[in-house]
Amino acid sequence: MATDNRNIHRKIGRSTTRTKCPAPFLSKTYDLLEEQEEENNNNNNNIKVVSWNGEGNGFVVWCPDEFSEVMLPKYFKHNNFSSFIRQLNTYGFKKVASKRWEFHHEKFQKGCRHLLAEITRKKCEPSVFPTYLNPSKKSTLLLARNNQENTTRQLLMEENQNLKKEKMELQLQIAHFKTLEMKLLQCLSQCVENPHNKTRRLF
Amino acid sequence: MATDNRNIHRKIGRSTTRTKCPAPFLSKTYDLLEEQEEENNNNNNNIKVVSWNGEGNGFVVWCPDEFSEVMLPKYFKHNNFSSFIRQLNTYGFKKVASKRWEFHHEKFQKGCRHLLAEITRKKCEPSVFPTYLNPSKKSTLLLARNNQENTTRQLLMEENQNLKKEKMELQLQIAHFKTLEMKLLQCLSQCVENPHNKTRRLF
DNA sequence: GGGAATATTCCC
DNA sequence: GGGAATATTCCC
């Protein structure tokens, strides 16, 4: 196993001064391009394996097979092109051509190593559950949690409904009492004014 | 980079028939011991680097430096003893001696490769939040979620309180009406019976 | 020892 | 492309 003298990046990368230091993957990919660029310049006759693109705002893997077999193991712990692509996607790079392996990232540009520290890993959508729970367990937990929440809400809503119904009934009673009071008062007034009338008919 | 023909374990390991297949780390560690055992038997004069212990219910790394530099890279993508230990801990192995690197696991025994599939990774305590969220973000989310739940409940509870208060007031009104009705009726009856009495005093 | 970030692999 | 499991690293 070749010793990896780029580990220094990683060591600093994990420290609390993270803002100063890009992720190891980014530094290594940048290193790879810079070192390959130098080699490309020295041997104009050779076919390029990987290089910055014309504008210097992205890079192209010209020979994926050679890149994977020869270059990847020099910088990473594997020789799989797909793992390299997976990392590019993780850090938000975009494939910008359909017929060649050209990738862009706003903050990944030739001569701008200082921009690397501004590139962050894409975050997955926040899930409220740890990844090791299988979907069935997740649904069970979801149901449990929802059930608990729903039970409280359900009880409150039921109570609300009942209270509203009771209120309506009470208001209805009051309406009847008001009518009754009115009639009684009417009746009384008639009674007082004409004590000998039959007032019962009001009821 | 040496190709790793043990990846077959991994490929199967990720399939849905996971129960049949141990984690790659376990298979590799078992392979390593079996292959080293054979080498130990062939060269009795050599110092052992790693071997099963006497009972066959654990193993001993006799020479950590040589083990790390020579054997680890043959089976894993690193040469760090501490990473190997980290994996052992992840899978629940216990260090059982203070003066040498001897590790046990109930299901990791000489001649019992079939037990490996029963060894599982230790799970961290279920956190409701993804690990990438820092504590401050976690509290914010917690508060947000709680706020949302609390808002609903709070509103329902407030509505409930108001409804109960209104109900009480309505009942009070009804009580007054009942008193009033009673007095009016009393009054009326007096009025009818003794039309010339002063009935107003009842009010 | 183990939590957590990053890397690598596998799979959809 | 990206979710998720496992591996490797870093740090407490």
Secondary-structure breakdown of chain B: helix, strand, coil percentages, each rounded to the nearest 5: 60, 5, 35
- 3-class SS string, B9-63: HHHHHCCCCHHHCCCHHHHHHHHHHHHHHHHHHHCCCCCCCEEECCCCCEEEECC
Residues B61/B50, Cβ–Cβ less than 8 Å: yes
User: DSSP character for A69?
Assistant: I
What is the model's pTM?
0.63
pLDDT in tens, chain A (203 residues): 444 443 444 444 444 444 579 999 999 999 999 999 998 888 877 889 999 999 999 999 999 999 999 999 999 999 999 999 999 999 999 999 999 999 999 999 999 999 999 999 987 544 444 444 444 555 555 555 555 666 666 677 777 777 787 777 788 778 877 887 777 788 778 777 776 655 555 55
Interchain contact, B167 vs A170, CB within 8 Å = yes
- Of all nucleotides, the one whose C1′ comes closest to residue B75's CA is D7
Give the integer Cα–Cα distance in Å for A1 and B151: 58
Closest CA to B22 of B124, B113, B122: B113
Closest CA to A25 of A124, A125, A116: A116
Q: Report chain A residues whose CB lies below 8 A from the CB of B79.
A: 1
Buried b (16+ CB within 10 A) or exposed e, B85-95: bebbeebebee
User: Would you place residue B74 in the very low, low, confident or very high pLDDT band (cuts 50, 70, 90)?
Assistant: very high
Output the pLDDT for position A110: 97
Output the pLDDT for position B18: 42
Closest CA to A51 of A42, A43, A60: A60
Q: Report chain A residues whose CB lies below 8 A from the CB of B192.
A: 191, 199
Residues A174/B177, Cβ–Cβ less than 8 Å: yes
What nucleotides of chain D have any atom within 7 angstroms of a protein Cβ?
1-12
